[in-house]
Amino acid sequence: MTALLEVTDVRKYFPVGRRRLFGGPSPSLRAVDGVSLEVERGETLGLVGETGCGKSTLARCMTRLHDLTSGRVTFDGTDISTLSRGELRPLRREMQVMFQDPYGSLNPRRRVGSIIGDPFAIHGVAEGEERKRQVQALMELVGLNPEHFNRFPAEFSGGQRQRIGIARALALKPKLVVCDEPVSALDVSIQAQIINLLAELQEQLGLTYVFITHDLSVVRHVSDRIAVMYLGKIVEIADVDGLHEHTRHPYTRALLSAAPSADPDALTGRERVVLRGDLPSPAAPPSGCRFHPRCPKARDRCLTDDPELIPRLDDGPEHRAACHFPLADGELLTLSRPAIDDVAPDLSFDPAAAEEGTTA
Amino acid sequence: MTIDVGRRDAGGPEDGLAVPAATELAGESRIEGRSPWQLAWERLRRDRVAVVSLVVIVLILLLALGAPLVAAAVGHGPDEQFRDIGLTPQGLPKAPSRTFLLGTDDLGRDLLVRIVYGSRISLLVGVVSTLLAVAVGVLVGVVAGYLGGLVDTVLARLIDLVLSVPFLLAGIAIVSISGPSLTVTVVVIAFFAWSSIARIVRGQVLSIREREYVEAARSLGASDWRIMVVDVLPNVLAPVIVYTTLLIPSSIVAESTLSFLGLGVPPPTPTWGGMLDSSLGYYRFAWWYLLFPGLALLVTTLAFNLFGDGVRDAFDPRTDRLFAAESTTAPVDE
């Protein structure tokens, strides 16, 4: 069986600044710049990366909330990248988006019952009493009191609102749910509830998730596979264990080392990498490998050659990394010194800094 | 959170455990979710100035509706000329008396009856042209703001264009071409009023369309029209209602202005602006002729304006000064 969702070389550029009146192409921001991945039925694909790396844009491209600049998205065997809004409509039942902000994603002027009933109304599925019955069943499914049908979003807590968002997303029993940071606006205690709810629902309804987050502990908990994004590109993609145990890309290593752990023993032996410098602007991405200005392993080749996302070292085809000089198992990143002069990421591995980093 | 006693509208079996707060209160009560509209109405009801203005508006409305009754009670028709008893021997208007409670005009007509009938024109033109302007303005504003792009560019420039046309000059020009009539008056006033509403609405929609709930609706497959009507419109309605209540008095004034210039509803239909116009030649002998139509206009526009202020305060909780001041002096009966 083919993958549920196939993304092939998708690019999304946003024009920035004013369009010039006469001629001249406007400068563009490369939010997503050549991403290919596939999502298998029933799995959860985690998508991680820093703020501004293009995760959310990619999610909106996958679901065609954005038009693509180029590339192709195939959902359930249908190429959706060029469909019109009308042609897309029946497919909207099959793929849903869950949004980050439980406050912003619910219309404050409408009652919860009618918000959750929206999918039914839009697709003309159930009317009147039948719709109300189904909405209340959904509310029960996601752990809300069905009696609160007539309330307004403002009367619910953040966690409850996210449950409303889940109920709305699941109303038409979609195949794919793209969760755009569904828990990052919630308290940690509530996060666990929502994540567990999502996991239960996945089992019950056979859902496929694309789970976007910048929280590595969350993504490790929920995902089968993880894709790491940096500046609009995927730098490494692998199953959860492979990514953690055989990290190939220096950026992935840095990201993983920044994740907090509940187990202090796990932290003591772990390498602590503190990246220097800021995320470069996606409007003017660095040449060659986009990570090279911040990479401790950067060589001359990284300045000019953009590495492909392919299996590195002795990895299987499922584990791909975009790095010319991938980390071998057990190699310490902090011992590397960049061989190029114009960029000198000042990396150190002194225990004090590491300590600071973990507590901060 | 507010508690409404004795109201219920949620269906399904009552589950006392599910709503713990309800069990603490006597039997029938339950916690009731209130819409922003209900909250605004609550605030409006506690605003004394607004309530008084509303009462005045309702009275004027009743007078307008019951104008024939007033005419019957007094025994004078609105266009009836009493050249014998309604004019002084010199042919001048007569001062207020028992026969003519507010005096007569230069043709010996009963001023009271004419003012009451004049309120019909004022309210009719004020309300109809405002509704027309609001309908067009909201439509243009929502469409321009939501669709954006070329549509927005064209509509926004159109709004700017209309806003830059001087009302009186263009109004005079239009009326002198088409000839004065009730319809022309309404259309002219509406034509110059919709653009400011459209501009306000467009600005609001520009921010609303970026909200996540609009994106959520789009991801559900909602059509543009559905999003505009279901998700965008309710969120711009508050400023629209506020602006509507403030636009009515300015439309009334605009109607009076046109009538005053002889470009409004043509005589002999009584209009306040027309009465003010014809009173100008007599104000040195007949103060009532100028005063009473002027007062009618003043009271009406003042009532609408004060009510509009109240509505604005009610919809914008940040302007809560009124209740802060009130609660220290008198207990609020709620």
Q: What is the DSSP letter of B270?
A: -
pLDDT in tens, B36-45: 677 778 888 8
| pLDDT at B312 exceeding the cut of 90 | no
CA angle A46, A50, A56 (to 5 degrees): 60
At A227 the pLDDT is 92
| pLDDT at A119 exceeding the cut of 80 | yes
At A263 the pLDDT is 65
Nearest-CB residue to A92 (from B12, B18, B221): B221
Contacts 24+ apart (CB under 8 A), A307-313: A309/A36, A309/A233, A309/A234, A309/A235, A309/A236, A309/A237, A312/A248, A313/A248
pLDDT-above-90 percentage for chain A? 4
pLDDT in tens, A296-341: 888 888 888 888 888 887 778 888 888 888 888 777 776 665 555 5
* Contact state of B221 with A88 under an 8 Å Cβ cutoff: yes
* Contact state of B235 with A109 under an 8 Å Cβ cutoff: yes
CA distance A278 to chain B (A): 28
Whole-number Cα distances in Å, A134 to A139, A214, A352, B50, B130: 9, 34, 57, 43, 42
CA distance B159 to chain A (A): 22
Nearest-CB residue to A123 (from B19, B218, B221): B221
Mean of the per-residue pLDDT values of chain A: 81
Lowest mean pLDDT among A129-133, A265-269, B128-132, B285-289: A265-269
Mean pLDDT of B289-306: 88
- Whether the CB of A39 is below 8 Å from some CB of chain B: the reply is no
| pLDDT at A101 exceeding the cut of 90 | no
Set of chain B residues whose Cβ sits within 8 Å of the Cβ of A149: 10-12
Task: List the single residue in B with minimal CA-CA distance to A152.
Answer: B33
Set of chain B residues whose Cβ sits within 8 Å of the Cβ of A90: 221
* Contact state of B216 with A97 under an 8 Å Cβ cutoff: yes
**CA-wise closest residue to A39 among A157, A208, A269, A194:** A208
pLDDT in tens, A48-83: 988 878 888 888 888 888 888 888 898 888 888 888
Select the more confidently predicted residue: A353 or B314.
B314
At B15 the pLDDT is 39
Set of chain B residues whose Cβ sits within 8 Å of the Cβ of A96: 219-220
ipTM: 0.76
- Whether the CB of A158 is below 8 Å from some CB of chain B: the reply is no
**CA-wise closest residue to B276 among B285, B266, B288, B268:** B288
**CA-wise closest residue to B280 among B302, B262, B298:** B262
pLDDT-above-90 percentage for chain B? 6
Beta bridge partners of A339: none
CA distance A85 to chain B (A): 8
Compute the distance between CA of residue B105 and CA of residue A277 in angstroms, rounded to an integer: 85
CA distance B283 to chain A (A): 54
pLDDT in tens, A17-34: 665 556 556 678 888 888
Lowest mean pLDDT among A187-196, B1-10, B207-216: B1-10
pLDDT in tens, B220-259: 888 888 888 888 888 888 888 888 888 888 888 888 888 8
In the block, tokens 């007094």 appear at B74
At B32 the pLDDT is 57
pLDDT in tens, B183-200: 888 888 888 889 888 998
Question: Structure pTM?
Answer: 0.73
At B270 the pLDDT is 84
| pLDDT at B261 exceeding the cut of 50 | yes
Q: What is the DSSP letter of B96?
A: P
Instruction: Choose the mutation target among A96, A98, A105, A152 for the interface with B, i.e. most B CBs under 10 Å.
Output: A105
Set of chain B residues whose Cβ sits within 8 Å of the Cβ of A118: 217, 220, 222, 230
Residue B16 pLDDT class (50, 70, 90 cuts): very low
* Contact state of A165 with B216 under an 8 Å Cβ cutoff: yes
CA angle B280, B283, B284 (to 5 degrees): 130
Nearest-CB residue to A110 (from B11, B19, B234): B234
* Contact state of B10 with A149 under an 8 Å Cβ cutoff: yes
Nearest-CB residue to B221 (from A106, A122, A168): A122
* Contact state of B220 with A92 under an 8 Å Cβ cutoff: yes
Residue B19 pLDDT class (50, 70, 90 cuts): very low
